[in-house]
Amino acid sequence: MPQTAPHHPGSAELRLRARQEAAVFLRGLPVSADPAAPLRACAEAMSQASTPAEVHALTELAASGEDAGLISLRNLLRAAGTRCREQGEGQLATRYERTSDLLDIADRTLFKLGVDLLASAYATGPDVSEPPPASASHAEGAST
């Protein structure tokens, strides 16, 4: 009798099995059925942004801060790494942790990019941290 090779499911089959197996678990959690919806909304709004400040605000809303998508994804990957390590899967844990580190790098890069965008936009514009000259001279006259 010929020997049959073991079946190694492909990525699509593995992902389908996981979705089916986790369906009941996920229904019991307070997670959105569409966790990327806020990010998609920011991406769609980007086409309407007309100033560097608006571009920056949308990018920061989507990517910066502990509650934003990028950092939340980083935290999820770190938690997955911890869980893998607890289950004795050290190599997988390390891969999750390294991937989360890449998101840290992306976060820092996006921060710097945002600062560069704003610096470029405001390099020739008025300094809004200083009062306008008319207000300054009025305040000087009021004190004498």
Token pair belonging to 19? 């979705």
Q: What is the pTM of this model?
A: 0.70
Which of 6, 111, 4, 121 has its CA nearest to residue 53?
121
What is the per-residue pLDDT across 120-136, written as a single tens digit (0 to 9) for each? 998 875 555 655 555 44
Q: Is the pLDDT assigned to residue 116 strictly greater than 60?
A: yes
Angstrom distance (rounded) from CA 102 to CA 70: 11
The DSSP call for residue 5 is P
What is the per-residue pLDDT across 43-59, written as a single tens digit (0 to 9) for each? 999 999 999 999 999 98
Mean pLDDT of the chain: 84
What is the per-residue pLDDT across 70-82, written as a single tens digit (0 to 9) for each? 888 999 999 999 9
Query: What value, to the nearest 5°, has the Cα angle with vertex 73 and ends 63 and 57?
Result: 10
